[in-house]
Amino acid sequence: MRETLIEYILCQYGAEPEYLWARYPDYAVFRHGGNRKWFALIAGVPREKLGLSGAERVDVLNVKLGDPLLTEVLLRQPGFYPGYHMHHENWISILLDGTVPFEQVTELLDRGFAATAPRPKRSGKERK
């Protein structure tokens, strides 16, 4: 699902993966073009870091939802975990092993993209 998701991000948002850390060569960061804010991170993490059995690595997508209530609801469902290496109240990790359907993953990714988008600038006329 990793490669399909990377292709989706590139086509949908025009965001190329950035591999920022030599120590974690499979961690792909995705940013908005305008404000350079991260909207997603795809990472291969040890299953044990998510509280799962086994030591092998599993791909996760971290997205910033900006909605603590939605995050709370999702964390009660299979395939969702607190944001791995991110602020747990704002980010969520989604298991990319098929537990969460691809369509739901992309819906949440779209929400994350919107939550981190540059805010439109207000004109001087709107200010009082």
CB contact at 8 A, 105 and 94 = yes
- Give the separation between CA 114 and CA 117, rounded to whole angstroms: 5
Helix axes 102-115, 2-13, angle to 10 degrees: 40
**Residue 86, pLDDT score:** 63
CA dihedral 79, 49, 108, 115 (to 10 degrees): 160
Residue type, 42: I
Q: Is residue 87 helix, strand or coil?
A: coil
- Tell whether the torsion through CA atoms of 67, 10, 99 and 50 is positive or negative: negative
**Residue 28, pLDDT score:** 95
- Give the separation between CA 100 and CA 118, rounded to whole angstroms: 28
Written as six digits, the tokens of 30 are 């995705």
What structural domains does the chain harbor? 2-115 (3.90.1150.30)
- How do the pLDDT tens digits run along the chain, 128 residues long? 899 999 999 999 999 999 999 999 999 999 988 888 889 999 999 888 888 888 899 999 999 888 888 888 999 999 999 887 766 677 899 999 999 999 999 999 999 999 888 877 665 555 55
- Give the separation between CA 106 and CA 114, rounded to whole angstroms: 12
**Residue 13, pLDDT score:** 92
Written as six digits, the tokens of 19 are 């591999």
